């Protein structure tokens, strides 16, 4: 189906959360779309600035994600994540991505407001959804310091000054966690949701246990970002496939299981954040 605007995806996801999943390889994108179809849940395919650098450019992977989303029967969008380069944001919009995140969290508060407001104005003129970040989510090469939290009053002022459509906030999660031991500040999530009339975004969700994610959605988180869990699922499946057949040289023989591993993980998390109560969702 045609790409679905993020505001519509949020409507379709409610009262649960909207899952947003990082794409690094084509297998990631295919698995995310397949999982959204299997669960009949909306989702976002995200391409980070770091992934763009890894591939040497946005266009090949960006075009592939757009094609996969458009060919899927699920409601999907393609989003540029954690972009600090305004030229990359402009390229993403011109390519057809309908959602971008400008990450000015490393900037001083006033500089972050000025830069985010300018980018938001430019994107809104082109009907593009804009996410920003306030507070510092740990795990991003020292730019995002663990222990920092987003202040609700400051967040409300930031949203009003910039006009952004969604705000990533620091409430206890950490990027790139290999374990699921992060403890979220649920009381702070509730206060942020009350202070803001735009969706809250949780980064670093891979490090949060299922019960924590369900509670985060219940307390007001809307967009839930995953990355590391998908990579763990891919890598574990590839290791198993190669251990079972060490002489394998055809990448389809191990990337196929890797893609299936990602799909299972995405399906699980889509079901977790779709839960309307805190009851357990089966693996």
Q: Is the pLDDT of residue 146 over 60?
A: no
Give the confidence band of 106 by pLDDT, cuts at 50, 70, 90.
confident
Please calculate the CA angle 177-182-187 and round it to the nearest 5 degrees: 145
What residue segments make up the domains of the chain, in order of their start?
Answer: 6-274
State pLDDT tens for residues 2-52.
999 999 999 999 899 999 999 999 999 999 999 999 999 999 999 999 999
> What whole-number distance in Å separates Cα of residue 82 and Cα of residue 248?
36
Give the β-pairing of 76-83 and 43-48: parallel
For position 1, what pLDDT does the model report?
A: 81
H helix or E strand, kind and range, residue 19: strand 18-22
- Say what the alpha-carbon torsion angle 159, 23, 37, 34 is, to the nearest 10 degrees: -170
Task: List the alpha helices (DSSP H) in the chain.
Answer: 6-13, 26-39, 49-55, 59-71, 86-95, 109-124, 152-162, 186-195, 210-219, 228-244, 252-274
- What is the rounded average pLDDT of the residues 131-139? 68
Contacts of 86 (CB under 8 A, 6+ apart): 102, 115, 119
- What is the rounded average pLDDT of the residues 93-116? 93
> What whole-number distance in Å separates Cα of residue 201 and Cα of residue 195?
14
Q: Which residues are catalytic?
A: 81
Give the confidence band of 107 by pLDDT, cuts at 50, 70, 90.
confident
> What whole-number distance in Å separates Cα of residue 193 and Cα of residue 96?
30
Chain-centroid distance of CA 230 in Å reads 12
Q: For the chain, how big is the Rg over CA atoms in Å?
A: 18
CB environment 101-135: b (16+ within 10 A), e (fewer): bbbbbbeeeeebbebbbebbeebeeeebbbbbbbb
State pLDDT tens for residues 186-227.
999 999 999 999 999 999 887 788 989 999 999 999 999 999
Please calculate the CA angle 87-90-91 and round it to the nearest 5 degrees: 85
- Mean pLDDT for all residues in the chain: 90
State pLDDT tens for residues 24-38.
999 999 999 999 999
Specify whether the CB–CB gap between 138 and 145 falls below 8 A.
yes
Task: Kindly list the distances between the CA atom of residue 265 and the CA atoms of 28, 31, 203, 215, 224, in Å, as whole numbers in the listed order.
Answer: 11, 9, 17, 19, 14
Q: What is the topology classification, in CATH, of domain 6-274?
A: TIM Barrel (3.20.20)
């Amino acid at each position: 189906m045609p790409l679905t605007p993020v505001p519509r995806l949020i409507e379709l996801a409610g009262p649960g959360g909207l899952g947003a999943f990082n794409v690094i390889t084509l297998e990631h994108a295919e698995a995310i779309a397949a999982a959204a179809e299997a669960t009949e849940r909306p989702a976002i395919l995200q391409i980070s600035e770091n992934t763009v650098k890894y591939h040497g450019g946005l266009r090949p992977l960006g075009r592939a994600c757009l094609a996969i989303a458009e060919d899927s029967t699920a409601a999907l969008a393609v989003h540029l994540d954690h972009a600090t380069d305004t030229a990359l944001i402009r390229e993403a919009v011109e390519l057809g991505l309908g959602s971008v995140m400008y990450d000015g969290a490393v900037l001083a508060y006033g500089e972050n407001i000025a830069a985010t407001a300018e980018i938001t104005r430019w994107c809104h003129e082109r009907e593009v959804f804009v996410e920003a970040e306030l507070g510092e989510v740990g795990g991003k090469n020292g730019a995002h310091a663990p222990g920092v939290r987003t202040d609700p009053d400051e967040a409300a002022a930031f949203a009003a000054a910039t006009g952004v459509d969604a705000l990533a906030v620091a409430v206890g999660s950490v990027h790139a966690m290999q374990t699921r031991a992060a403890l979220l500040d649920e009381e702070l999530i509730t206060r942020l949701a009350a202070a803001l009339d735009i969706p809250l975004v949780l980064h670093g969700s891979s490090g949060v246990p299922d019960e924590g994610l369900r509670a985060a959605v219940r307390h007001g988180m809307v967009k839930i970002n995953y990355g590391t869990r998908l990579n763990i699922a891919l890598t574990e499946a590839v290791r198993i496939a190669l251990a079972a057949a060490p002489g394998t040289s055809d990448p389809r023989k191990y990337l196929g299981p890797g893609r299936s591993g990602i799909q299972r993980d995405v399906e699980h998390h889509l079901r977790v954040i779709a839960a309307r109560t805190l009851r357990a969702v089966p693996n």
